[in-house]
Amino acid sequence: MADGSGVGSFGGRTAIVTGGGSGIGQAIATLFGARGAHVAILDLAAADATVAAIAEAGGEAVHVPCDVSRQDDVTSAFESVNERFGALDMLVNSAGVAHVGTVEQTSEADLDRVYAVNVKGVYNCLKLGVSVMKGRGGVILNVASVAATVGIADRFAYSMSKGAVLTMTLSVARDYIHQKIRCNCISPARVHTPFVDGFLARNYPGREAEMFEQLAKTQPIGRMGKPSEIAELALFLCSDAASFITGSDYPIDGGFLTLKM
């Protein structure tokens, strides 16, 4: 890996962040870029704002349009990043989609859509990531969820997918520990992202502020998390300061798992 130490600087390391066009992925990509990483944002959606924010902070970034559910797309994207920035040092799998509903309310099409991005998409990027990191080392961070380890109402498909992300993390960490690859995941609770705003607008028109407050109060700490707070944990886990950490899941949940009454 390229030079860099502690949590302060990534010293020109190459990072791929999937889903970096918005939300948690955008916050992670922006922070990594501000700390000196060359950041490639893999996202089907526009990522101009993320690229601009990184450039304003003095970093370098590129948007590589990519459907993570398609292995050919991922292969081409990784090759493009290697040509642009050199060998991959850090991979953050943040791309994901959500679904609200019980098992009875989840259609086959719903399940396939969530699986394609949240499970197969992570698999595709892990497969390419470890293949280029083997021997020289690297860091992989997957974005899971508290839904991977606790039952949350009306989140059947989403919970299934995030449980898979958690167990894929453990598997990769075990299989590639002797290849100098660290693999961890983080499990946020409710974070204020564009998805939350869109969900409220669709389902509670005219009551967005009221329902936002109700959702915020479901977190024992009394508010939702901020994408920037998730990014700070990602920064630590991908840094040399976390060089003794692999195969771990880090809840970042405002007390949701342990303090829920």
Does the pLDDT at position 7 exceed 90? no
pLDDT in tens, 80-99: 999 999 999 999 999 999 99
pLDDT of res. 113? 98
Sketch the domain layout of the chain as residue ranges: 14-189+230-246, 190-224
pLDDT of res. 137? 97
Rounded to an integer, the average pLDDT of 204-224 is: 92
pLDDT in tens, 143-193: 999 999 999 999 999 999 999 999 999 999 999 999 999 999 999 999 999
Does the pLDDT at position 79 exceed 60? yes
DSSP secondary structure string for all residues of 82-132:
HHHH-S--EEEE-------B-STT--HHHHHHHIIIIIIHHHHHHHHHHHH
Side-chain half-sphere exposure of 94, counting CA atoms within 13 A: 29
Q: pTM, whole model, 2 decimals? A: 0.94
Tokens at 15, concatenated: 């990072």
pLDDT in tens, 92-139: 999 999 999 999 999 999 999 999 999 999 999 999 999 999 989 999
Which residue in 158, 176, 204, 250 is the catalytic one? 158
One-letter amino acid at 22 equals S
Does the pLDDT at position 4 exceed 50? no
- The helix (run of H) or strand (run of E) holding residue 39 is strand 38-42
Q: Percent helix, strand, coil in the chain (nearest 5)?
A: 50, 15, 35
Rounded to an integer, the average pLDDT of 51-71 is: 96
pLDDT in tens, 33-48: 999 999 999 999 999 9
**How far apart (Å, rounded) are the C-alpha atoms in residues 87 and 11?**
14
**How far apart (Å, rounded) are the C-alpha atoms in residues 75 and 38?**
19
- The helix (run of H) or strand (run of E) holding residue 71 is helix 71-85
Cα distances (Å, whole numbers) of residue 192 to 122, 142, 173, 183, 200:
23, 19, 29, 26, 11
pLDDT in tens, 233-247: 999 999 999 999 999
CA-based radius of gyration for the chain: 18
> Would you place residue 2 in the very low, low, confident or very high pLDDT band (cuts 50, 70, 90)?
very low
Rounded to an integer, the average pLDDT of 2-24 is: 82
User: Quick check: 113 and 97 in contact, CB under 8 A?
Assistant: yes
Does the pLDDT at position 5 exceed 60? no
User: Is 115 a known active-site residue?
Assistant: no
Dihedral of CA atoms 63, 65, 70, 73 in degrees, nearest 10, equals: -80
CATH T-level fold of 14-189+230-246: Rossmann fold (3.40.50)
> Would you place residue 199 in the very low, low, confident or very high pLDDT band (cuts 50, 70, 90)?
confident
pLDDT of res. 135? 87
Does the pLDDT at position 205 exceed 60? yes
